[in-house]
Amino acid sequence: MTSRRLTPLSAALVLTALIGTGAAHAAAPTATPAVTVSTPSAPGEVPAFRDGYGLTLVPEDTQVNGPTDFTITVTTPQLSGKHRIRILLPTGYGADPGRRWPVTYFLHGGGGNVNDVAAAPALHSEAMITVVPDGGMKGWYADWLMQNTAEGKANWETFHLTQVVPFIDANLRTRADRAHRAVVGLSMGGYGSLHYAQARPDLFGHTAALSGGIDFGMWEVRGAVLATELNLAGAWCAVSTSSGSGSGSGSGDCAGHGPSVDSDAIFGSPYPFFDADRVWKAVDPAAPVNLAKLSNTGITLYTGNNDLIDVNTAAASHTVKARLDQLGIPSRLVDYGNGASLAPSCNGGHNYGCWAPAFADYVPRLEASFAAAG
């Protein structure tokens, strides 16, 4: 049977129906200029890292904003090219060499990168380490079905879960247990955070999805994935990253999602015929069989409902919440609607004007959970 794939035109129609052309976007704070250094190890500089778990350091590409904010670069057989990991340490990390710290992994959105974390200051916490691994412009936190596209090798899930996590535990003073490890993300990263918590409940005791594409049963969410595969740059690119400024369609706000790939490249065919969409169903975060894996996990969902993207992430979030309730699994859903109840910067849309205050609400709760775990 001939595979049914979306053409760029038909995918554009799906995306237009989903998000329109006028989503709002909040700019990130200006970052301190980075300094390129060799592998640092002197007191007051960033911790020294060693290769391991399939990751090879590229020392000349290390970037340092300060001893508690730096980015390392690695290569891995699981992915083509070089990939960055930004790390935010508590200010007390260097002064207390006997202390170990909880870790939160932040997964950025589509079209984004590790520097998007600067737009959410609450994630630079005094009570935990924050790790921001590269997720690709359209990686979707997945091991792709097709490994011979213009993106090359693309095993993002393997990279994050079997390489980055143990690599961080081996190189930093972490509390390496699920009670002291969280995974959080927004937009594409919201899918990633919920999926990773389900795929590896042994690793993550806490998860949060902000405006996440967390219901693959919705055609609107599948259409967003297909649009990134076909690099239909525009609203999703503009609003799920911290680049750019102001409002508008985002046509000049970022470079899109990289080279176009086959519309079946990541999860296979999206069409529900003859079980062709079996991968989509298998990894669907909203599927009850997957939600049941979160029975011992702290779960938080945030969403607005005031633009043509978040009206769909709100629907997805409410579906997940209702199914968790049916399963008897505790969770917390914050639907801040038009944003008035959350913060003056929030218009209820798919942007950091809402996500930054959402993290400001969430992080102290997460810190309290880490502390309660001992």
Quote the number of domains for the chain.
1
pLDDT at 252: 36
Judge contact between 192 and 107, C-beta under 8 A.
yes
2 lies in some domain: no
**Token code pair at residue 168:** 């961080």
Binning pLDDT at 50, 70 and 90, where does residue 14 land?
Answer: very low
| Tens of pLDDT, residues 179-203 | 999 999 999 999 999 999 999 999 9
> Closest Cα to residue 210, out of 18, 359, 367, 368?
359
Q: Which residues pair with 123 in a beta bridge?
A: none
Of 26, 30, 72, nearest to 49 (Cα)?
Answer: 72
Containing structural domain, residue 21: 8-372
Quick check: is 84 in a domain?
Answer: yes
In a domain, residue 1? The reply is no
CA dihedral defined by 284, 265, 148, 54, rounded to 10 degrees? -20
Let me know if residue 40 belongs to a domain. Answer: yes
Q: Within a domain: residue 130?
A: yes
Calpha distance 200→183 (Å, rounded): 11
- Which DSSP symbol is given to 204? -
Residue 106 lies in a domain: yes
Nearest to 85 by CA among 42, 56, 127: 56
For the cut 60, the answer to whether the pLDDT of residue 40 exceeds it is no
Question: So what's the pLDDT on residue 216?
Answer: 98
Q: Lowest-pLDDT range, 31-35, 61-65, 121-125, 317-321?
A: 31-35
Instruction: Provide the token pair at 11.
Output: 């995918």
* Of 212, 207, 241, 209, residue with least CA distance to 309: 212
pLDDT digits (tens, 9 = 90+) for 107-146: 999 999 999 999 999 999 999 999 999 999 999 999 999 9
Phi first, then psi, for residue 272 (nearest 5°) are -85, 55
Mean pLDDT of the 271-285 span:
96
pLDDT given for residue 257 in this prediction = 83
What CATH number has the domain bearing residue 198?
3.40.50.1820
Extract the tokens encoding 370: 């880490």
Residue 3 inside a domain? The answer is no
Average pLDDT of every residue of the chain: 87
Domain assignment present for 309: yes
151 contacts: CB under 8 Å, gap ≥ 6? 80, 136, 138, 144, 258, 259, 261, 265
